[in-house]
Amino acid sequence: MATEFKLPELGENIESADVASVLVKEGDTVKKDQAIIEIETDKATIEVPSTIEGTITKLFVKSGDKVKVGSVVMIVDEGGTTEVKVENKNVAKKEK
């Protein structure tokens, strides 16, 4: 099942932020609480953790982007874990 992960509410009075770095790539498996991107407000750098688990099928942000709270950061396939692992191996192979 594909699920959208949106930039969560960051804190009071923060509506958008700059992406400082992207810590994952399409095809990666992500766990709950794993940091996905690092964003920067004018005062701080904040790691944004994932709230879902699965394989990233699509990533919408890159370093330097300005993202709004609520905009979609990535789509994750929350399929069964074994399937994900297989998928992961394939990715590794492809890269070789």
Which residues contact other proteins by CB under 8 A? 8-12, 14, 20, 40-49
In DSSP terms, 59 is beta-bridged to 74
**Residue 64 DSSP class:** T
- Tally Cβ neighbours within 10 Å of residue 20: 15
The smaller minimum CB distance to other proteins, of residues 7 and 76, is found at 7
The smaller minimum CB distance to other proteins, of residues 48 and 77, is found at 48
The smaller minimum CB distance to other proteins, of residues 39 and 77, is found at 39
> CB of 29: closest distance to other proteins in angstroms?
20
> CB of 89: closest distance to other proteins in angstroms?
27
Q: Which of 69, 54, 3, 68 is nearest to 24 (CA)?
A: 54
